[in-house]
Structure 1
Amino acid sequence: MIRFYDLDFCKLEIHHNYMIAVMKEGIVVSATNNSILIKIAEKHFKKTPFVYITHRIHSYSVDPIVYIKTGEVHNLLGFAVVSKNPMQEIQTKYERSFFKKEFRRFDDIESALSWKDELIEKHQSKKTHTDEEKKGIN
């Protein structure tokens, strides 16, 4: 782990190419909260592609409009929801409709991290291929 934040609305771990948020019980993830998370992501990831993982341990609400703004973070490759709660499947489908990048739900952190690795690898492969095309290499 690179850095840990204990904010009034969540606990946040920053790693090399991902962040894990655990929201606090009963909060509403609002545009204000989201803007704080975006600023932290921009500070730590600058040009590094990364994945956001939310570990939904506690019960809380999300204003789905935050996904629109979050989706504008240029180097954010995907959004993972980790929860064993079956109701999260329905919630995740609804939230996904507001987010125009990769968005998946997982039962455990390990699965989310494997998916994160796949997204990063796919991005790196695509970037390498694009760089080669710009240089005229086929």
Structure 2
Amino acid sequence: MITSYNFDYCLAEIYEDHIRVYINEGVTVVPEHISELNFVTKKHFENKFFVYLAVRINSYTIDPMIYVESNKIPNLLGIAIVSNDPKQRSQAKIEKVFTNKKLQQFDTLEEALDWKDEIIKKRKDGITTKDQ
């Protein structure tokens, strides 16, 4: 880990090519939250591809309009939702409709990290499709 940020709604950990976000219990994630994270990603990933890992260990609500903001981040290649909760699998299918980024749900962090490596490599190799 390079560094971390404690916002009032989440913990964000910065790594070489991804950000891991742990949303706090009971929060409603709104577009303004993405604006805060956008500042962090510009600072650490300027001119560099990265992937967002949402590690969902707490219960919280997501305003689908957050994807309007995340869609504006050109070097964000994908969003991984990490949770083995069956409700999160269903939620991920709904969230996928709102984004133009690759979005996948994974049961483990290791699976999400493997996917992250794969889509970053494919982008560097010039292969780009939403459903990778």
| TM-score by shorter chain over 0.5 | yes
Return the TM-score normalized by structure 2. Answer: 0.94
| Residue 6 of structure 1: aligned partner | 6
Tell me which amino acid in the other structure corresponds to 1:17.
D
Instruction: Report runs of 4+ in structure 1 exceeding 6 Å deviation.
Output: none
Length, aligned pairs only: 127
Higher normalized helix content (fraction of residues)? 1
After superposition, the CA RMSD in angstroms is: 0.9
Q: Greater CA radius of gyration, 1 or 2?
A: 1
| Residue 39 of structure 2: aligned partner | 39
In structure 1, stretches of 5+ residues that fail to align are 128-138
Task: Please report how far the alpha carbon of residue 17 of structure 1 lies from its aligned counterpart in structure 2 after TM superposition.
Answer: 0.5
Task: Please report how far the alpha carbon of residue 6 of structure 1 lies from its aligned counterpart in structure 2 after TM superposition.
Answer: 1.2
In structure 2, stretches of 5+ residues that fail to align are 128-132
| Residue 66 of structure 1: aligned partner | 66
Task: Please report how far the alpha carbon of residue 71 of structure 1 lies from its aligned counterpart in structure 2 after TM superposition.
Answer: 1.4
Return the TM-score normalized by structure 1. Answer: 0.90
Tell me which amino acid in the other structure corresponds to 2:12.
L
**Aligned residues with identical type, % of pairs:** 39
| Residue 111 of structure 1: aligned partner | 111
Alpha-carbon distance in structure 2 between the residues aligned to 1:31 and 1:102: 19
